[in-house]
Amino acid sequence: MSQQTAPPPPPPYRPYRQVREATPHSRAVSCVRFSPCGRLLATASLDGTVALLSPSSLAVIAVLRGHSDGVSDLSWSTESYYLCSASDDRTIRIWDIRPVLAGGAQAAAADPGADRCIRVLKGHTNFVFSANFNPQTSSQIASGGFDCTVRIWDVKNGRCTRAIEAHSEPVTSVHFIRDGSIVVSGSHDGSCKIWDAKTGACLKTVIDEKKPAVSFSMFSPNGKFILVAMLDNSLKLCNFATGKFLKVYSGHVNRQYCIQSAFSVTNGKYIVSGSEDNCVYIWDLQGRNILQKLEGHTDTVISVSCHPTENKIASGGLDNDRTVRLWVQDS
């Protein structure tokens, strides 16, 4: 009789500590995103710029200018060649990051202001609040905005291939599943919906509560779950196949802002989120307990990002803080 082996216990939790702090923008930081290759940290701001930072020193390697209003969201293509930015100027810009990666910091520093924008996607009739590359192809992007639509774009020709009247209030987030077949959207109308990326058909309404507003939603890295943030100080993990809520994470403060959370999978499985009490919270994914509360920011932490291979977290703060901070686990 074969003996079933118990799964290995999770590694013991090692605390994070702040190692770097930088102020690459003149206004609130709205989004922080490590590149999938791990070699860059992109940051966006209400000042209308996108900065590319060193993920170790937080030195500014390049600044991407072109938006005429604040930038709310960023997404990398899977191979880290392209970055897209969603802006209050109603456009999405696609930036070619290959020269920065090829030339390294020195080449980028020699020409930090080079125009790296290769496409401007126009069609939204109000602020674009979220944008996400299809993980399977850098030629497709989903976006959501204050015009209550979810849009699918062909990056190669710059055209909108699907404009979906998705929600009755602003769309706060769009995110592809890892195989690129479906998109999850969240909205201030309190609903969270799944869309067919090809046809634009609504396949499922995961949540339809009216209140509280859904401020953020994303698929888990394995594609089995959706992490949903709501403006009632809660984060929920949902099995989207069954529509059942499996876990609720609480203790942070989130009643006003669309705070971007993240999965951490490089050492144990954690949920990481910013908070309106100026802290970064880390929960044990399975146990739901708060493992650590990272203090240092002086305003709401609006966005966090986990490095793809290293035990490293980046965070960004709103206008009374404006810093990007880097946290690493003690070895």
Residue 4 is assigned to a structural domain of this protein: no
What is the CATH number for 39?
A: 2.130.10.10
Residue 126 lies in a domain: yes
Integer Cα distance of 180 and 199 in angstroms: 13
Bridge partners of residue 121, in order along the sequence: 92
Identify the H or E element spanning 105: helix 98-110
Query: Is residue 131 in a domain?
Result: yes
pLDDT tens readout for residues 151-175: 999 999 999 999 999 999 999 999 9
In the chain, how many domains are there?
1
Q: Is residue 10 part of a domain?
A: no
- Collect all residues with Cβ–Cβ distance below 8 Å to 111 and sequence separation of at least 6: none
Residues in the chain: 331
Q: Which two tokens stand for residue 243?
A: 């529509």
Token pair recorded at residue 144: 């959501």
Nearest CA-CA partner of 315 in 29, 27, 25: 29
pLDDT in tens, 205-239: 988 777 899 999 999 999 999 999 999 999 999 99
% of the chain surpassing 90 pLDDT: 87
pLDDT of residue 330: 81
pTM of the model: 0.94
- Quickly count helices (H) and strands (E) in the chain: 1, 28
Residue 155 lies in a domain: yes
Alpha-carbon distance 183 to 21, whole Å? 34
Domain-located, residue 12 = no
> Could you tell me the strand order of the sheet in which 71-76 lies?
71-76, 82-87, 91-96, 117-122
pLDDT category at 105 given cuts 50, 70, 90 is low
Q: What is the pLDDT of residue 277?
A: 98
Is residue 9 in some structural domain?
no
Q: How far apart are the first and last CA of the chain?
A: 41
3 in a structural domain: no
Pick from 92, 28, 67: which is nearest to 302 by CA?
28
> How many CB atoms within 10 Å of residue 318?
22
Extract the tokens encoding 279.
């802290």
Tens of pLDDT, residue by residue over 34-63, are 999 999 999 999 999 999 999 999 999 999
- Separation between Cα atoms, residue 45 and residue 48, nearest integer Å: 6
**What per-residue confidence (pLDDT) applies to 6?**
73
For 304, the domain range is 17-328
Tens digit of each residue's pLDDT (9 = 90 or more) over 255-314 = 999 999 999 999 889 999 999 999 999 999 999 999 999 999 999 999 999 999 999 999
